[in-house]
Every structure is written in structure tokens, then in C-alpha cells.
């Protein structure tokens, strides 16, 4: 079982019970805070002996004094056959009122500790505590994977509003869940005597019967030296038993005092286990410290936010999984499609492929890859496999490799298509593992392994054309990606550049209407975005969105992109025709693997052409003056020096530390951006050796050339681009 599956099911099942524990825990944490604020203060340095004197004067039948964790002083007494418990002002011994624990609060405490089921409930509560511990650990692992490393746990959270709410609340809650679950398990162990907290027996002491009368409590030396602030409980000697003694309990231990002479008969220091138990109680309940109780209450109040947001995310992912139609039985199908998908998007590609094959007369069976098997009628097997996180299988497909390894190879060719993100070092790693396992078992293949970057509809279409040719048939697809709800963006300005011959470019700046947070929570508004994220635009007459890297962040107050008009480019032609005041519909797709994490390490930015857009966004948002060094390549500074004026201004205000340019179509322009890197090799090598982060954006050939150049530069310091990628320091945004 993967961490994601464990976290999901613990969150849905145990999380619902943890919700009850969280709400009741908030009430139990706030109640002593209120009582502490209302309690009569104990005068500084007041000795217990003086308190005994004042209590004895106002409550003649006093038998026990307790100092509650809230600081209140409660005196238990018998007046004849009538028992009483009273709040007392320690300053003068005055009775403030009757002490009676709240019945509703007692019910809430029993619900919190044992679900109102006594010992059986305590065992269940211990089980929930263990489940919370596992949920906390799994959540911490998933949070680490989402953020990229342990060092980035406190970094900026990206994604939709709902995702950010869940991750942010989880980041704050994981520590308190760990603490609460561990302390609850310890308390459960103490309840069932699995942990020794108290000594088995008290010392055998008794007061010596003496002709002298009892000493008044205020004359006992031990009580004269003991401040009330350290008192937990003081038991008066039983009046009809001359051998009974005083007993005082403090944080440090317990003592017994002779009632006649005032001599300390015995003193037992608190066991280490007892002191540990007291600390556990303090950490779990917050009783005795207002600040920690308020922290627990605040964090406990966010448990409903964490659980509800997690439930909403699960429902969103569940709704994204398409329903399977025209699905033939496996034994009758000639083509089998097996799918591995984390959030449902890969099922959409499989659905389009399924429909196209059915239209061509095939009987097609589609299922999850964890059910991989073939039948006599099988002629072709297609596996569409997404990779999750740092190379993992999607949750439902975790055992697929084991299943394949147990099956003998069949005669039907198996073709694997991978889906992933090139920003991650383990790009399409699960698809590669599947393909390798199939070849090792001897399965033939129709087409070699292909990899799709960021769910590219264009790449999928090209792959399907190759598949159709291999099958000897036309395979037109009707793939319609699941497009999130769009937000209207209004164009407020544009900067036009001549660009390459026949391919002008423009920088478009949009603004968006005010949005209610509830709409954004439901995924209806424009998600928070950062430079380097992607904006999806759906041109009129097209069902496939085009994605453009963002040159601005949400805090800039506008959305900016740089678009080159491509020959026969439907979306780029549409965007180039816009004028100020025109509106488009758009949505945000996070690109977390490419963004910056807010560290103070230097950043080397390498871009060419319109690929400078997200790099310009990084510089624009660099208000803390993190050292950023830009290497920019273009053809002609008069035609395609995009963001040129802004870059010069950022150099002036130190958002950009240095700039190196290369223009390939001008005399003495410096060639290509790779040439600028070679010319600056010593400084590049020093920056990267000191921990610099590298971001590259541009065409795929340019990015490959940058990799080769950097490998040459870094060879003398025993580094490579692959090592930088593995350490999360190198990422590309290529097109």
C-alpha cells in the first residue's frame, strides 16, 4: 500500500472520527483558558501554611485543598454529614462559590476520551490515535514529495485555492497531530497500566500519639517553606484518628507530616515516569498554560478545514474519472487498453482512443493496469500510464508490476505510452518501469515507448497517428480534454515585436474581474498563480487548449504572456488579433516543478526567444533581491529583445544581478545563448558550485544545447546537469 493510499483512506475513515476528537479537543482546550482568566490570582510567594490558616478560619470542616491546573483553589469539606466543594480566594480564604464540574463538559470529555463507551471506547480512542499517527506520517511524506524536499516544507504552496488550503492547514496540523497522537497513545497505555506512573504503595507512616495537641497547619515547617504555586493537593489528617498525618502532593513529589510535632515523616520524589506523564498531559490538553492551550485550540479548530478540504479534493478527483462505455468483455476483445492514472486525466486520453478504435470496428476492453491480463482473442495491448510525484505509480496501480512479473508472456504486442512532466527527474519513470518489465518477460511490442509531456494533446495526436499506421488503419481521434472552468481576462495593453520573418510576437497583459473566494474554492475562479505557471487558452472553434508560460505572478495584479504567432497557429493567431478591451476565457495550470522555492540561493536563468517570459516573471517578482543572473539569446535586439526595457530597469533596481545576451543574426552579437554560457564559463561554474539554481526555457533543441554546454563547463568540478536535476536544482520549460 502506498503512502497516498494510506493517507487517503485514513483521512476518509479515521479522519471523520478525528474530526469529532478535534472539535471536542478545541472545547476542552478553551474551557481551562476561560477558567484561568476568571480564577482568583494567587499572591506571589504565598506559602501553603498561610493558605491553610485562612481556609481553616472560613471552612472549619476542611479536609482537602486542591490547586487546579487553571490556578483555582478548591476546598473539600464535611460539615456534619454534608459534603461540600468550594472555590476559595487564596488572598483571604473567602469562599467564592460552590465548585461543581460542568455536566456538559464532563460528557464532552468522556466523548473525547472514550466515545462514551468506557474501556471499550478507550481502546477505540487508542486505535484512532494510532491511525492519526499514521495519517500524520503519511501526510508528512506526501507534503515532502509535493514540496520537493524536506528543506522546502516551509516553502510557498502552489496550486488551486482548495489545494493550498489543504496543504497549508496540513502543514500546520501535521506537527500537532503527531504530538497529539503520540501523547494520546501514551495516556492510553497509562490508563491500561501498560506504563507505570505511580508507585505501587505509599510509605508506611503514622503520626506518633503524643500528649501534645495537634499543631495548627500554619505552624508546620514543610508547609511554611512550600509556595502555593507548587501545590497540587493537601490532605488534612482525619480528625478522629490520632495516628493519621498530613499529606502534601507537589510537582516534585509527596510528603507526609506528623500532626503533633510537625516533623516530616517521609518524602518521596516524583517518579521520572510520573513527571513524563505530567508533561504528556500538559502537551495533550494544554491545562496549566494559557498560551499552549490557545495554540492547541487554534490548530484543533483547523482540523475541520483540513478534513473537509481533503474530502472535497478526493471528490473532485473521483468525478474526473470518465465512465467507461462500449466496453467489451476481456475474453471477447481484440484490443485491450490498460490505464494508470492518478487524477483521472489519463482516463480521458484512453477514452478518446477507445472510441476511435470502436468506430474502426474493434472490440475494445478498457481497465486499470492493476488488472493486466490477456485472452485468446487479444490481438493488441495498449498501456497508458501516468507517473505520480517522484517516479511512483498512481495509487490504484501500485501492484501492477508484481502482476506483470507473475504472468507468462503472451503473443499479443504490448505498447506503452507514458504521461508525465519533464520538470521531474523521474519523467515517465513508471511507464518506463512497466515497459522494461514487459520486455524482460518477453512480451513483443508494436511501437516503442513514447512519453507525453504535461498531457500534450498534440503529442498524443501524433502518437495515435503512428499507432494507426502500425495497425494499417486511419485512427482519427476526438480527444476533448477536461478543461477547467475559465475566467474572463480583459486585455489592457500589448507590446508588439517584429520577431522572426513571418512570425511576429507580442507581449499581452490582461486583468481579471473581482472574484468571490467561494467561487475560487469551487474551482470557478482564477487560481493563484506564480511566474512559470501556465495559462490555458481555448481559441474559438478549438476543443484543445494551448498553454503559455506566465511572465507574472498573482501579486503583480495582472497576467502577462509572450506569444509568437505561428504559421497556421489557431490560438496564437487568435491572441495576436486581440485589441485593448477584448476579453478571453482562460484557466491556470500549476507548473510547480519549474517555479522557484523562495530560497536565497543564486539563480541562473537561461532563455531564448519567447522563452524569456517566465524568467522575466521570476525577475519581476524578485523584490527580496535574490541574486539572479540572466543569459538571454535571440536573433536581433531590434526585432526580438522581449522585455528588453523591463530587464534594463530590473538591472537598475537590483532585481537582476547581471545580464549576458547573445544575438545570432547581428555582427558581433555573440552567437547563441550556449556561446554566452561558454564565454562566462568560470562564473557559471562558480555559481553552480556554490549551490545556484538553474532554470531553462526555450525550444527543445536550445535546451538540449544548454545541457551539453553546462555538462562541459561543470565537468571540472565533478558536476553534471543530471546531478542538478536529481537535487531539484535544474528544471526546464521547453516547447
348: domain CATH number is 3.40.50.360
Instruction: Give the strand pairing for 73-79 and 62-67.
Output: antiparallel
Residue 262 is assigned to a structural domain of this protein: yes
| Cβ atoms within 10 Å, residue 453 | 17
Lowest mean pLDDT among 34-38, 358-362, 377-381, 409-413: 34-38
Mean pLDDT of 513-517: 73
Of residues 205 and 692, the one with the higher pLDDT is 692
Radius of gyration of the CA atoms of the chain, in A? 35
DSSP bridge pairs for 85: 76
CA nearest neighbour of 225 among 267, 288, 271, 260: 267
Same domain, 338 and 427: yes
pLDDT band at 283 (very low <50, low <70, confident <90, very high): confident
Answer for the pair 661, 676: CB distance below 8 angstroms, yes or no: yes
| Predicted local distance difference test score (pLDDT) of residue 661 | 95
CA nearest neighbour of 696 among 597, 634, 595, 605: 605
- The x, y and z cell numbers of residue 210, run together, are 503524643
Residue 22 is assigned to a structural domain of this protein: yes
CA distance 102 to 104: 6
| Predicted local distance difference test score (pLDDT) of residue 603 | 97
Mean pLDDT of 253-259: 93
The whole-angstrom distance between residue 67's C-alpha and the CA centroid of its chain comes to 42
Whether residue 211 has pLDDT greater than 60: no
Mean pLDDT of 175-188: 77
CATH code at position 622: 3.40.50.80
Whether residue 149 has pLDDT greater than 70: no
Answer for the pair 435, 443: CB distance below 8 angstroms, yes or no: no
CA nearest neighbour of 581 among 510, 515, 514: 510
pLDDT band at 592 (very low <50, low <70, confident <90, very high): confident
> Could you say which DSSP state residue 306 is in?
H
Which residues are CB-contacts of 666 (< 8 A; sequence separation ≥ 6)?
635, 636, 637
CATH code at position 531: 2.40.30.10
Answer for the pair 65, 234: CB distance below 8 angstroms, yes or no: yes
Boundary (domain end) residue, out of 556, 589, 622: 589
CA distance 459 to 470: 17
Same domain, 172 and 205: no
| Helix ranges, 60-102 (H) | none
The helix-helix angle for 644-652 and 612-620 (nearest 10°) equals 30
Mean pLDDT of 609-631: 96
- The x, y and z cell numbers of residue 254, run together, are 509527596
Residue 550 is assigned to a structural domain of this protein: yes
Residue 409 is assigned to a structural domain of this protein: yes
Show the domain range for 641: 603-734
> Could you say which DSSP state residue 286 is in?
-
Q: What is the DSSP string of 108-140?
A: HHHHHHHTT-HHHHHHHHHHHHHHHHHHHHHHH
Nearest-5° Cα angle at 367, 361 to 369: 125
Whether residue 104 has pLDDT greater than 90: no
pLDDT band at 645 (very low <50, low <70, confident <90, very high): very high
Mean pLDDT of 262-291: 84
Of residues 508 and 701, the one with the higher pLDDT is 508
| Cβ atoms within 10 Å, residue 210 | 12
- The x, y and z cell numbers of residue 540, run together, are 474559438
pLDDT in tens, 532-584: 999 999 899 887 888 999 999 999 999 999 999 988 889 999 999 999 999 99
Q: Please, what sign has the CA dihedral across residues 336, 339, 344, 345?
A: negative
Q: What is the DSSP string of 383-419?
A: EEEE-BTTTBPPGGGTTHHHHHHHSPP-SS-EEEEEE
| Predicted local distance difference test score (pLDDT) of residue 1 | 45
- The x, y and z cell numbers of residue 237, run together, are 489528617
pLDDT band at 11 (very low <50, low <70, confident <90, very high): low
Whether residue 290 has pLDDT greater than 80: no
CA distance 191 to 183: 12
CA nearest neighbour of 40 among 95, 90, 99, 94: 90
Of residues 353 and 278, the one with the higher pLDDT is 353
CA distance 132 to 18: 7
pLDDT band at 116 (very low <50, low <70, confident <90, very high): low
Nearest-5° Cα angle at 306, 300 to 311: 140
- The x, y and z cell numbers of residue 394, run together, are 498512481
| Predicted local distance difference test score (pLDDT) of residue 19 | 72
Residue 146 is assigned to a structural domain of this protein: yes
Boundary (domain end) residue, out of 589, 622, 644: 589
DSSP bridge pairs for 697: 607, 733
Same domain, 613 and 703: yes
Residue 447 is assigned to a structural domain of this protein: yes
Report in angstroms the alpha-carbon separations of 198 from 195, 234, 277, 437: 9, 17, 10, 59
Host H or E run for residue 318: helix 303-320
| Predicted local distance difference test score (pLDDT) of residue 660 | 96
Same domain, 260 and 211: yes
Which residues are CB-contacts of 641 (< 8 A; sequence separation ≥ 6)?
497, 632, 634, 661, 663
| Cβ atoms within 10 Å, residue 724 | 20
DSSP bridge pairs for 75: 65, 86
Mean pLDDT of 292-301: 78
Answer for the pair 325, 337: CB distance below 8 angstroms, yes or no: no
**Three-class SS state of 141:** helix
Host H or E run for residue 714: helix 700-714
Characterise 444 by phi-psi region: left (phi > 0), alpha (psi -120 to 50), beta (else). beta
Tell me how far apart the 2 most distant CA atoms of the chain are, in Å: 118
Which residue shows C-alpha cell 511490442? 445
Whether residue 287 has pLDDT greater than 80: no
Whether residue 226 has pLDDT greater than 80: yes
Answer for the pair 84, 98: CB distance below 8 angstroms, yes or no: yes
Whether residue 674 has pLDDT greater than 90: yes
Whether residue 191 has pLDDT greater than 50: yes
Mean pLDDT of 428-443: 94
Same domain, 84 and 212: yes
- The x, y and z cell numbers of residue 567, run together, are 504559421
| Predicted local distance difference test score (pLDDT) of residue 74 | 94
Whether residue 158 has pLDDT greater than 70: no
pLDDT band at 486 (very low <50, low <70, confident <90, very high): confident
Same domain, 247 and 325: no
CA distance 279 to 277: 5
> For the chain, what percentages of helix, strand and coil (3-state, to nearest 5) are there?
45, 20, 35
**Three-class SS state of 382:** strand
Same domain, 397 and 466: yes
Answer for the pair 99, 35: CB distance below 8 angstroms, yes or no: no
The whole-angstrom distance between residue 511's C-alpha and the CA centroid of its chain comes to 30
Same domain, 423 and 439: yes
- The x, y and z cell numbers of residue 491, run together, are 486585455
- The x, y and z cell numbers of residue 170, run together, are 496540513
Same domain, 251 and 167: no
Instruction: Give the strand pairing for 335-340 and 264-269.
Output: unpaired
pLDDT band at 3 (very low <50, low <70, confident <90, very high): low
Mean pLDDT of 124-148: 69
Residue 98 is assigned to a structural domain of this protein: no
Same domain, 524 and 614: no
Same domain, 187 and 300: yes
CA distance 329 to 327: 7
CA nearest neighbour of 491 among 560, 398, 552: 560
Count of structural domains, the chain: 5
Whether residue 234 has pLDDT greater than 50: yes
**Three-class SS state of 452:** strand
Report in angstroms the alpha-carbon separations of 382 from 339, 353, 412: 9, 10, 10
Answer for the pair 631, 677: CB distance below 8 angstroms, yes or no: yes
Helices (H) and strands (E) in the chain, counts: 23, 24
Whether residue 353 has pLDDT greater than 60: yes
Same domain, 418 and 325: yes
Supply the pTM of this predicted model.
Answer: 0.64
| Predicted local distance difference test score (pLDDT) of residue 563 | 96
- The x, y and z cell numbers of residue 408, run together, are 507468462
Whether residue 710 has pLDDT greater than 70: yes
Would you say how long the chain is, in residues?
735
Residue 480 is assigned to a structural domain of this protein: no
Percent of the chain with pLDDT over 70: 89
Amino acid at each position: 500500500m502506498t503512502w497516498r493510499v494510506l493517507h487517503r483512506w485514513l483521512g476518509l475513515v479515521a479522519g471523520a472520527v478525528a474530526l469529532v476528537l478535534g472539535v471536542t479537543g478545541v472545547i476542552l482546550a478553551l474551557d481551562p483558558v476561560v477558567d484561568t482568566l476568571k480564577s482568583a490570582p494567587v499572591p506571589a510567594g504565598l506559602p501553603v501554611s498561610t493558605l491553610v490558616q485562612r481556609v481553616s478560619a472560613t471552612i472549619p470542616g476542611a479536609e482537602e485543598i486542591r490547586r487546579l491546573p487553571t490556578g483555582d483553589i478548591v476546598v473539600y469539606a464535611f460539615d456534619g454529614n454534608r459534603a461540600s466543594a468550594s472555590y476559595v480566594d487564596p488572598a483571604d480564604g473567602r469562599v467564592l462559590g460552590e465548585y461543581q464540574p460542568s455536566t456538559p463538559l464532563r460528557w464532552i470529555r468522556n466523548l473525547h476520551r472514550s466515545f462514551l463507551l468506557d474501556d471499550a471506547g478507550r481502546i477505540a480512542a487508542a486505535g484512532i490515535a494510532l491511525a492519526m499517527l499514521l495519517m500524520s506520517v503519511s501526510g508528512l511524506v506526501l507534503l515532502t514529495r509535493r514540496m520537493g524536499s524536506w528543506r522546502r516544507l516551509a516553502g510557498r504552496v502552489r496550486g488551486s485555492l482548495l489545494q493550498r488550503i489543504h496543504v497549508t492547514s496540513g502543514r500546520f496540523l501535521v506537527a500537532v497531530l503527531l504530538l497529539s497522537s503520540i501523547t494520546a497513545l501514551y495516556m492510553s497505555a497509562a490508563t491500561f497500566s501498560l506504563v507505570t506512573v505511580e508507585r505501587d504503595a505509599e510509605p508506611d507512616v503514622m503520626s506518633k500519639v503524643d500528649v501534645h495537641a495537634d499543631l495548627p497547619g500554619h505552624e508546620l515547617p514543610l508547609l511554611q517553606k512550600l509556595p502555593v504555586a507548587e501545590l497540587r493537593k493537601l490532605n488534612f489528617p482525619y480528625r478522629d484518628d490520632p495516628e493519621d498525618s498530613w499529606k502534601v502532593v507537589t510537582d516534585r513529589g509527596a510528603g507526609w507530616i506528623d500532626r503533633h510535632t510537625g516533623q516530616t515523616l517521609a518524602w518521596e520524589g516524583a517518579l521520572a515516569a510520573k513527571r513524563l506523564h505530567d508533561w504528556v498531559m500538559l502537551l495533550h490538553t494544554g491545562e496549566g498554560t494559557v498560551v499552549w492551550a490557545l495554540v492547541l485550540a487554534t490548530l484543533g479548530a483547523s482540523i475541520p478545514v483540513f478534513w473537509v478540504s481533503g474530502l472535497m479534493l478526493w471528490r473532485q478527483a473521483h468525478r474526473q474519472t470518465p465512465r467507461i462505455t462500449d466496453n467489451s468483455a476481456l475474453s471477447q476483445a481484440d484490443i485491450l487498453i490498460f490505464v494508470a492514472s492518478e487524477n483521472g486525466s489519463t482516463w480521458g486520453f484512453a477514452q478518446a482512443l477507445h472510441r476511435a478504435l470502436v468506430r474502426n470496428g474493434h472490440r475494445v476492453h478498457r481497465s486499470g493496469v492493476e488488472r493486466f491480463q490477456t485472452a485468446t482473442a487479444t490481438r493488441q495491448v495498449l498501456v497508458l500510464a501516468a507517473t505520480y510525484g517522484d517516479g511512483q505509480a498512481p495509487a490504484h496501480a501500485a501492484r501492477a508490476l508484481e502482476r506483470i512479473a507473475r504472468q507468462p508472456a503472451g503473443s499479443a504486442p504490448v505498447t506503452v505510452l507514458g504521461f508525465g512532466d519533464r520538470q521531474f527527474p523521474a519523467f515517465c519513470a513508471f511507464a518506463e518501469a512497466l515497459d522494461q518489465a514487459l520486455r524482460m518477460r518477453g512480451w513483443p511490442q508494436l511501437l516503442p515507448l513514447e512519453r507525453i509531456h504535461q498531457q500534450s494533446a498534440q503529442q498524443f495526436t501524433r502518437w495515435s497517428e503512428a499507432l494507426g499506421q502500425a495497425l494499417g488503419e486511419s485512427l482519427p481521434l476526438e480527444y476533448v480534454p477536461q478543461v477547467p472552468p475559465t475566467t474572463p481576462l480583459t486585455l489592457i495593453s500589448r507590446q508588439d515585436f517584429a520577431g522572426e520573418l513571418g512570425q511576429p510576437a507580442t507581449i499581452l497583459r490582461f486583468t481579471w474581474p473581482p472574484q468571490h473566494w467561494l467561487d475560487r474554492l469551487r474551482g470557478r475562479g482564477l487560481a493563484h498563480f506564480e511566474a512559470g505557471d501556465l495559462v490555458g487558452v481555448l481559441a474559438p472553434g478549438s476543443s484543445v487548449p494551448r498553454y503559455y508560460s506566465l511572465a507574472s505572478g498573482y501579486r503583480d495584479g495582472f497576467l502577462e504572456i509572450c506569444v509568437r504567432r505561428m504559421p497556421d497557429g489557431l490560438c496564437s493567431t487568435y491572441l495576436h488579433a486581440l485589441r485593448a478591451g477584448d476579453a478571453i476565457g482562460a484557466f491556470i495550470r500549476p507548473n510547480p516543478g519549474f517555479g522557484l522555492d523562495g530560497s536565497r540561493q543564486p539563480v541562473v536563468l537561461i532563455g531564448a526567444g519567447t522563452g524569456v517570459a517566465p524568467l522575466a516573471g521570476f525577475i519581476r517578482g524578485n523584490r527580496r533581491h535574490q541574486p539572479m543572473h540572466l543569459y538571454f539569446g535571440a536573433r536581433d535586439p531590434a526585432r526580438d529583445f522581449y522585455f528588453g526595457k523591463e530587464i534594463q530597469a530590473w538591472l537598475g533596481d537590483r532585481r537582476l544581478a547581471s545580464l549576458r545576451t547573445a544575438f545570432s543574426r547581428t555582427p558581433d552579437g555573440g552567437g547563441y545563448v550556449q556561446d554566452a554560457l561558454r564565454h562566462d564559463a568560470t562564473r557559471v561554474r562558480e555559481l553552480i558550485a556554490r549551490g545556484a539554481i538553474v532554470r531553462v526555457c526555450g525550444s527543445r533543441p536550445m535546451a538540449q544545447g544548454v545541457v551539453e554546454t553546462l555538462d562541459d563547463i561543470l565537468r571540472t568540478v565533478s558536476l553534471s546537469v543530471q546531478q542538478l536535476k536529481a537535487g531539484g536544482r535544474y528544471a526546464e520549460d521547453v516547447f
